[in-house]
Amino acid sequence: MTATVKGVGVSRGIAIGEAYVYRREQADVSQRFIRKSQHEKEIARFKKALKQAGKQLRDIKDQIAQNTPVDILAFIDTHLLMLEDPAFRDGTIQNIRTLSCNAEWALHKQGERLLQVFDDMDDPYLKTRRDDVLYVLQRIQNCLTNTPETQLDASKLAKHIIVADDLTPADTILIGHNNVAGFVTQYGTPLSHTAILASNLGIPAIVGAPDVCQQIKTGDMLILDGYDGVVHINPDDASLAHFRSLIRSESKRRAELKKLKGQPCVTLDKKPITLHANIDSPADIKQINKYDTTGVGLFRTEMLFIDQNQWPSEQQQFKFYKSALSKLKGMPLTIRTSDLGADKELQDTIDHGPMAHNPAMGLRAIRRCLKEPDLLTPQIRAILRASAFGPVLMMIPMLTNIEELDEVLQHVEQCKQQLRDSKVAFDESLPVGAMIEVPAAALAADAFASKLDFLSIGTNDLIQYCLALDRVDDEVNHLFNPLHPAVLQLIKMVIDAGKFAGIPVSLCGEMASDPKYTRLLLGMGLTYFSVQPNALLEIKHIINNSKINSLRPRVRKILQLYRADEIEQQVRKLNA
């Protein structure tokens, strides 16, 4: 009888192949006290381990295909930079001296401190960056303890499905360039680097599959369904035939999608739809161009701040935004001012006291910037200056009331006047918009729309605030439901407010990138989607094969329902 394991599908697609169960040796770390006279010897041993870990990473990088995109190789470079970071090196050396302990234990204690910083973050993407820290820590520990390096030899595993507790970004890149069929891991989240890489590389993948390494053994025949997040173990012939047929259909569908690159995004009833992409850095624009030629509907600028671990200067920010514009070659760039504070504090900035008890509702985003205008002014000036080199839009996150908006607009006007006085060029008509991600802002969308040039719905936060749950909390994240009737009413309210005011409304949360919701959103009146780059062509395909005039009356009936399960059933029919 066929057994199944359920996890979370993070990279869509179906794979069929033999299992290879991959287990990595873990270093055994224990505390050992040393005399003061041994401190320097132990520090030298630690520094040697750092060099050894660096050599291992460079050797892995040399194994990766030369045509690998730069933004994917950057994951390896990030780990190499971490090895040189004082947070690893100096903290561990200080522990050796102050605790009079062996290097393994000193590194372990320093690692606990670093990991806690990321565990305290509320932002799901930044929280998963702890994976990088943990990976580097384990590699150094393996070098200190002489634990054998069990590198995944992906070159010998073509057409196999990898089964593992977890995979590193380096493992995932090697898998992607050695014709491995797919992978399933026991741990991991949809926002982990491994999951993101799998999606970017087009490898069918499932994470968070409980006890998968215990239930599957090397040599088992597997069907990996990345759509539904299910692994079928030793399936019967009928199941194999069914999924092989699906693979053939999927291959044809992907070939058809590629033909949409560069084509207009317009419905069957001739309604043009704006379809842009979300990015974290100028390097991500290469990923956009891989799929389509379009603009950026959301540029998350806080990644520049996080990567530098400090508030960048106005000039640094200006160069960052100008670089993105040059890569877009005339396409628009929507820059969101930084969403930092509370849960995403920078270690090298001023101490603002203890971590907030509820960081998601603390001093973050525009609240933080309005409290410290010296942080907001350089960013506004940098965005304005960049607007002289291409079409730029400025978007303000986490607004909750009109008083905040008035204060922001006053700052913008002051910055414009400063630039005029200094005879610095900028776009006088640069559009300013708000990210609607708080229920209070959605309910007051009419007022915001009357003062702004555009609105953008951030569904990730809007849903968690509306439903009073933390979407990264395992105890409650199953309640995170974009189809909750209250969520849909808030979204419709914002779309209608924009229409009444005659300004565009975009949707840039994860909901926009999920094909399940595209027709629903079109029927609600949304005409501007901003999605993850790898979702561009699929969303365009659905839009180009939809009729808004026939969707509207059906969606109107859906919005009158009060039960999420009934709504989901009707949305499935909408997509049939």
Dihedral (Cα; 257, 260, 261, 263), 10-degree rounding: -170
pLDDT at 46: 92
Task: Answer whether 170's CB lies under 8 Å from 152's CB.
Answer: no
Q: Could you give the CA distance from residue 105 to residue 354 in angstroms, rounded to a whole number?
A: 27
Encoded tokens for 221: 């025949």
Cβ contact 303:371 at 8 Å: no
Q: What is the CATH number of the domain that holds 194?
A: 3.50.30.10
In the chain, the number of structural domains is 3
Q: How far apart are CA 254 and CA 411, in angstroms?
A: 47
Q: What pLDDT score does 452 carry?
A: 97
Q: What is the pLDDT of residue 308?
A: 59
Residues 477, 350, single domain; the answer is yes
| 3-state secondary structure (DSSP) of residue 532 | coil
Q: Are 192 and 183 in contact (CB under 8 A)?
A: no
Parallel/antiparallel/unpaired status of strands 205-207 and 8-11: antiparallel
251 part of a folded domain:
no
Tell me whether residue 40 is in a domain: yes
Confirm whether 365 is domain-assigned: yes
Residue 257: inside a domain:
no
Helix axes 169-176, 70-84, angle to 10 degrees: 150
What per-residue confidence (pLDDT) applies to 574? 95
How far, in Å, CA of 444 to CA of 454, rounded?
Answer: 14
Give the tokens for residue 341. 């504070």
Statement to judge: residues 476 and 366 lie in one domain: yes
pLDDT of residue 343: 42
The string over 17-32, giving b where at least 16 C-beta atoms fall within 10 Å of a residue's C-beta and e elsewhere, is bebbbbebeebebeee
Claim to verify: residue 103 and residue 187 sit in the same structural domain: no
| Spatial distance between the Cα atoms of 421 and 416, rounded to a whole number of angstroms | 9
* Stated length of the chain: 576
Instruction: Look at residue 125 in the predicted model and tell me its pLDDT.
Output: 58
For residues 186 and 165, the answer to whether their CB atoms sit within 8 Å is yes
DSSP 256-313: HHHTTTT---B-TTS-B-EEEEEESSGGGHHHHHHH----EEEEETHHHHHHHTS---
CATH classification at residue 497:
3.20.20.60
Question: What percentage of the chain has pLDDT greater than the value 70?
Answer: 85
Q: How far apart are CA 119 and CA 112, in angstroms?
A: 10
**Mean pLDDT, residues 139-158 taken together:** 77
Q: How far is residue 320's CA from residue 445's CA, in Å, rounded to a whole number? A: 31
Rounded to an integer, what distance in angstroms lies between the CA atom of residue 132 and that of residue 511? 27
Residues 137 and 214 in one domain: no
Residue range of the domain that includes 502: 268-575
Residue 80 within any structural domain of the chain: yes
- Res 65 pLDDT > 60: no
The Cα 455–Cα 434 span in angstroms is 5
Residues 489 and 375 grouped into a single domain? yes
**What does the mean pLDDT of the chain come to?**
86
Residue range 322-367, pLDDT digits in tens? 999 999 999 999 999 877 554 444 444 434 444 444 555 565 567 6
pLDDT at 113 over 90: no
Whether residue 1 is predicted with pLDDT greater than 80 in this model: the reply is no
Q: What is the pLDDT of residues 299-325, one digit of tens each?
A: 988 767 666 556 788 999 999 999 999
- CA 300 – CA 379 distance, rounded (Å): 13
Nearest Cα residue to 137 out of 114, 169, 171: 114
Which residue among 186, 219, 237 closes a domain? 237
Please identify, among 124, 145, 166, the residue that sits at the C-terminal boundary of a domain.
Answer: 145
Quick one: average pLDDT of 35-57? 90
Whether residues 179 and 136 share a domain: the answer is: no
Residue 246 placed within a domain: no
CA 123 to chain CA mean position, Å: 10
Q: Are residues 73 and 163 in the same domain?
A: no
**Among all residues, which ones are annotated catalytic?**
193, 508
Residue 200 has pLDDT above 50, yes or no: yes
Write down the pLDDT at residue 14: 94
What is the pLDDT confidence band of residue 116, given thresholds at 50, 70 and 90?
A: confident
- The average pLDDT across 433-453 equals 96
Helix (H, G, I), strand (E, B) or coil at 528: strand
In a domain, 259, yes or no: no
Closest CA to 266 of 574, 542, 513: 542
105 or 475, greater pLDDT? 105
**Mean pLDDT for the stretch of residues 209-222:** 92
Tokens matching residue 467 = 């439903």
Report pLDDT for 516.
Answer: 92
Determine the average pLDDT of the residues in 78-83.
76
Q: What does DSSP assign to residue 33?
A: B
Last-in-domain residue among 116, 145, 174: 145
Task: Tell me the average pLDDT across 443-454.
Answer: 97
Cα(428)–Cα(386) distance, rounded to whole angstroms? 12
The mean per-residue pLDDT over the stretch 161-180 comes to 81
Please tell me whether residues 447 and 465 are part of one structural domain.
yes
Q: Which two tokens stand for residue 532?
A: 């993850």
Instruction: pLDDT band for 230, please (50, 70, 90 cuts).
Output: very high
- List strands edge to edge, sheet with 3-6: 3-6, 230-233, 221-225, 14-22, 161-164, 182-185, 205-207, 8-11
The greatest distance separating any two alpha carbons of the chain, rounded to the nearest whole angstrom, comes to: 81
Which CATH number do you get for residue 125? 1.10.274.10
State phi, psi for 555 to the nearest 5 degrees: -70, -35
Q: Which two tokens stand for residue 563?
A: 């039960």
Helices (H), 345-471: 365-371, 373-386, 402-421, 439-443, 445-451, 459-467
Identify which has the larger pLDDT, 84 or 129: 84
Would the pLDDT of 562 be above 50?
yes
Of 110, 95, 53, nearest in space to 76 by CA: 53
- Phi and psi at 293, nearest 5°, equal -115, 105
Residues 217 and 88 in one domain: no
Q: Which tokens go with 198?
A: 């799998």
Q: Using one digit for the tens of pLDDT, what is the confidence trace for 479-529?
A: 778 999 999 999 999 999 999 999 999 999 889 998 999 999 999 999 999
What is the predicted pLDDT for the residue at 83?
80
Residue 258 falls inside a structural domain: no
Residues 368 and 483 in one domain: yes
Q: Which two structure tokens, joined as six digits, stand for 535?
A: 């979702």
In a shared domain, residues 58 and 16:
no
Tokens linked to 327: 């890569």
- Mean pLDDT, residues 287-293 taken together: 90
The residue among 28, 533, 89, 110 whose CA lies nearest residue 287 is 533
Q: What is the residue-wise DSSP string for 411-435?
A: HHHHHHHHHHHTT----TT--EEEE
